[in-house]
Chains A and B, each alone.
Chain A
Amino acid sequence: MNQPISHRLSRVVLLLAVLLPLAAGAGALARSGVPATVWEWCVRFVAAVHSHAPFS
């Protein structure tokens, strides 16, 4: 039993409605520099852990 074409079309539209904003969001996030900042914090955290380690 074949589903109506309108169902397929609706799904494609829905998929685009999910993917496009997601891609746009990811792009904006990358450009905003937030990930880089977060990464820096993480590196600093690791460094802090190391500097307090008993064997250092």
Chain B
Amino acid sequence: MGTSIVWGVGIFLYLVAAWAALTWVSAPLALICAGVGALAGTVTALLLTGWVFTGGDSGVRVMTPEQVASGAAGGRKHPNLPRRDTAWAAYFAGPVVRDVRGVWGAVVRVTRRVWGFFWREELRQIYLALFPFTLPAAIGLAVFTLSGLGVALAVTVVTAALTTVLWLLGGALTWAMRGADRAYQAIFRSKTGCPHEDCWYVNPLPAYRCPGCGQAHRDLRPGRLGVLWHVCECGRRLPTTRLRAGHRLRPVCQRCLRDLALGAGKLTDVRVPVFGATSSGKSRFIMAAFGSLHLAAGDAVEAADIDSDRALRDYDRDLTADLGTAATAVVPPKAVTVRLRLPGRRLNGACLIHVFDAAGEYSQNREINEELSYLDHARTLAFVLDPFAVRAVSEQAGGDLLGRANRSLHDPEDSYAVTVQRLQAYRVKTHERCLAVVVSKADLLARMPLAAGLVPEDDSVRAWLAGQGLGNLVRMAESDFRSVRYFLVSSRKGAYGSGMDALVPLRWLLAEDGVELP
């Protein structure tokens, strides 16, 4: 009984004291605490922001090139390729999000720590008992927390605004640059064919090697890895677009990663497969054509790679010595590529010419013909026809002439059909392509009465072929291709400048592809 009265009095006194403290101490103290809390919260959060943005917070994970490659900055999934190149993401396309998250993380972390410091297990009872004095502190802490979160929110809003503006600007620039790049490619036909055997892939966009570390960058278009430049893992800045990378970086094939010619992807790219039966004169025709091209263009023409350089030297040696040409090995051929400067052009003043010379066996055998995928991607083709393979001619020619001609023993019509049927089987639109029919060994043919009246002109050659029993071939060619022209060619050194020059068909093929030779 007595104890309960003591308790009652005690509680009454406590409530009175608490009421007094609330009015006289807590109310003014709460104001001061709120002010201090607001100031402290703002300053703390700002300091944390600065700390995170200057890289002080090791908890903020850097978006590394490896992470970008595995999709940290988006990117389409490819079966066997990384999502993106191993390069740094543009700051506002990824890392910025991590930084802002880092600011929130730091603010929340510090706030929790402060609350945790005051709200300790052993002090809780005391706080509750002294609640009139605790209340202002609690108000101060609440304001501290709110202002800290407010700063984080402000950082987020400002960042979001800036990021949006930059995405709009960057997006517009990206769109314009990609558009210009593609328009340029379409106008100048600069998709580039890989010259390497068993690949021959036509690259709409070559990969480019970083000059610093040699890594191949497969997608140097403006985008999330940078609009004007990408930054390689090794720190090198690489210019974007084919136009800007074109002459500064080494292009490589997307499919086989072997080197392409410098400027590939930017320069006009002409691919000329030469086909025809064994010993019909293909290799010799190519030699003579390059020889004449060199005479006509001089320094403007140069080999685009080491192998082509060696091939051109060999060609020149054989032509000059007038050696017989050795049969081409039956292996998938690498193209011989030359770079030709075109002084007449202001934009894109050069082109790459790839000539593919496969052994005649490929034109006689349907099975191995399948391997030559470069045939499918050429806009222009050259078919070499040995006149001495025609029955009427070989019957009239004496043994001496036949021996010198080292004639082809295979039916020209069949060698034509093997290749063209292959093209059609692969749904290549041959009626959009051009064909040069090259009647070879004209120097020897000219000695025969049967060739009297035959002159190196389209109509004359066409009529002559039809007269020798090749009318069917002529009809097939003209129905298969958009444009067919007939040439009479002597692949010997003396023919340069004459109507029988091997450059005549090459000039026509290049012109059909938009390249006017000097």
Contacts and interface: CB of A to CB of B under 8 A. Distances in A.
Contacts of A4: 88, 231, 235
Interface in A1-36: 1-4, 6-8, 10-15, 17-19, 21-22
Contact of B62 (A1, A15, A53): A1
A38 B95 CA distance: 41
Interface in B368-406: none
Interface in B44-75: 46, 49-50, 53-55, 62, 64-65
Contacts of B46: 19, 22
A42 B235 CA distance: 58
Contact of A49 (B27, B95, B154): B27
Given A15-B49, A19-B46, A46-B27, A7 B95 contact: yes
Nearest to B92: A10
Contact of B50 (A7, A15, A55): A15
Chain A interface, >50% SS class: helix
B30 to A, nearest CB: 9
Contact of B31 (A12, A13, A42): A42
Given A15-B49, A18-B49, A18-B155, A10 B96 contact: yes
A12 B233 CA distance: 22
Top 4 closest pairs, chain A to chain B, by CB: A10-B91, A4-B231, A11-B53, A53-B23
A50 B24 contact: yes
B118 interface: no
A55 B49 contact: no
B330 interface: no
Contact of B91 (A6, A45, A46, A55): A6
8 contacts: A7-B95, A11-B53, A11-B54, A14-B96, A22-B46, A50-B23, A50-B24, A54-B19
B265 to A, nearest CB: 25
Given A1-B62, A2-B235, A55 B159 contact: no
Interface in B73-112: 88, 90-92, 95-96, 99
Contact of B158 (A1, A21, A46): A21
Given A7-B95, A15-B50, A18-B49, 10 more contacts: A1-B62, A1-B64, A3-B62, A8-B55, A14-B158, A17-B162, A19-B46, A22-B154, A46-B27, A46-B31
A22 to B, nearest CB: 7
Nearest to A25: B154
Nearest to A4: B231
B235 A14 contact: no
Interface string B134-159: 00000000000000000000110011
Contacts of B90: 6
A29 to B, nearest CB: 12
B518 interface: no
A2 B233 CA distance: 9
A6 B231 contact: yes
B18 to A, nearest CB: 13
Interface centre among B91, B95, B99 (most CB of A within 10 A): B91
B11 interface: no
A10 B89 CA distance: 13
